[in-house]
Amino acid sequence: MTSGIAFVLTAASEGRLFGLDQQTLISAGIQLFNASLLAAALAFILYKPVHKFMRKRADGIQARFAGAEREAAKANELKALYEHRIADIERERMGILEAAHAEAAERSGRMRDEALLEIAAMKERAEAEIRIERERVSDEIRLHIIEVAALMAEKFVALNMDEAAQSRLFDEAMAELEDAEWRS
């Protein structure tokens, strides 16, 4: 560098800054030859390692890209599988709900039928008890009426009749009672 500055200073002192003479051309040719030789040597020495490095880098990028594509494909497959499973689960859930609704409706129907049967049985029992109670009360009322009628007839007969008439009326009443049917 200092020689370059010294050259420019000497050239400037001679009155010229850049001279295109034979020395300058030889010097430029040597420098061009040196640069070409250096470029060829560096290309020969560094081409294979740089090319190998660039190839590895390109292969690595390609491998990562292929791996990313495989992972994306796997992710899409898993997504499709999970969506299919979710659809299956949803169908199963709907089936379970429908079965539960059907079972609840059936159970409700059975319970309603059982309740109706029980109500009918209770009604029949109540009607039977009412009939029995009605017959019992009717029998009690008949007996009570017979007792009252007998007392009244006895008092009436005792006051108005003699003993012969009482016997005759008593026999007639007994005959009628034996032949009569009681209404319920």
**Side-chain half-sphere CA neighbours of 157 within 13 A:** 16
pLDDT (tens digit, 9 = 90+) per residue, 69-97?
A: 999 999 999 999 999 999 999 999 999 99
pLDDT (tens digit, 9 = 90+) per residue, 123-150?
A: 999 999 999 998 888 888 888 888 878 8
Q: Is 1 helix (H, G, I), strand (E, B) or coil?
A: coil
CA gap 66, 102 in Å, rounded:
53
Say whether pTM exceeds 0.85.
no
- Angle formed by the axes of helices 163-179 and 22-160, to 10°? 150
Residue ranges covered by each domain of the chain? 2-179
